[in-house]
Chains A and B, each alone.
Chain A
């Protein structure tokens, strides 16, 4: 016997149900477009950041092509991480440009870390245009397994 979820089959069928469902789907569609346009909930300030975690670390990765380690400064203060730098493209003076799509300039971006970290253990590595800042999580932010006792 198939088990049917009770709420999916109301006893009194709403004649407008299909229309309401359609409206909901339209709303979702427009929300999706909005998200696409502004790039999610993020600010569009350079550089693009990805934040991730595992049980002991928090990682902040930034896409900074064309920026060398010497042109970057990273500040960690309280729970705020600031990435500052300058993106430059060197070209000979006598060059005539056919296309110039790569943007250059100076940038600065600050984020608040979502997890408590130990600011004394921060490491920053840049490789292939991706900056990785690794924080060690504070002791109290690490997951702790709670043992279940049998009474």
Chain B
């Protein structure tokens, strides 16, 4: 554990296609991607997003993560200090061919989306013998 103080991560803003219809920002969630023998796991940090306002879509070999965070300061309250903003989260990844898209499992806990993507049955390397003709 480092004794360096943790700093607020910079929320990177995503470039949006076209103009947004709602005056809110679109952020790129920070992700961890790790691979084990069985699966590839993606963790995406989306604070303020509950399980019903997150969507994961797979289309043309690309996986898109979207989340809508609840308001940073709810209506009816007056802001006194504001260090974070709310908005949408959006990030898209290309899936490799070894992943079985129909077996992807998603779960949401503590503002972190976890996607477990099992690998399709590994293709065992086959050696073709070359005969003398």
B-contact bits for A80-116, CB 8 A (1 contact / 0 none):
0000000101011011111111110111100000110
With contact pairs A59-B77, A95-B34 given, residues A46 and B111 touching in the complex (Cβ less than 8 Å): no
- The reply on B9 being an interface residue by CB < 8 A is yes
Q: Considering the chains assembled together, what is the distance between the CA atoms of A142 and B76 in angstroms?
A: 16
Interface residue? B101 (CB, 8 A): no
Nearest A-chain residue to B30, judged by Cβ? A101
The verdict on A52 contacting B77 (CB below 8 Å), with A63-B84, A102-B45 known, is yes
Sample of 14 more A-B contacts, CB < 8 Å, known A128-B49, A128-B70: A39-B8, A45-B6, A46-B7, A46-B8, A46-B9, A48-B84, A50-B81, A50-B82, A51-B79, A63-B8, A63-B84, A67-B110, A94-B37, A130-B48
Neighbouring B residues of A77 by C-beta, 8 Å: none
A105 to B2 Cα, complex, angstroms:
7
Expressed in whole angstroms, the minimum distance between the Cβ of A42 and any Cβ of chain B is 5
Q: List 8 A-B contacts (CB under 8 A).
A: A45-B5, A46-B7, A50-B82, A54-B76, A63-B84, A89-B32, A94-B36, A102-B32
Contact residues in B for A137 (Cβ distance below 8 Å): none
Contacts of B8 in A (CB 8 A): 39, 44-48, 63
Q: In the bound complex, what is the Cα–Cα distance between A22 and B47 (angstroms)?
A: 41
Interchain CB contact under 8 A, A52 and B5: no
Give the residues in chain B near A97, CB-CB below 8 Å.
32-35
B68-105, CB under 8 A of A: which get 1 and which 0? Answer: 00101110111111111000000000000000000000
CB distance from A110 to the nearest CB of B (A): 12
* A112 CB to nearest chain B CB (Å): 11
- Top 7 nearest A-B pairs (CB, nearest first) are A129-B111, A65-B111, A129-B47, A48-B84, A46-B6, A95-B34, A101-B30
B62 at the interface (CB under 8 A from A): no
A114 vs B132: C-alpha distance when bound (angstroms): 87
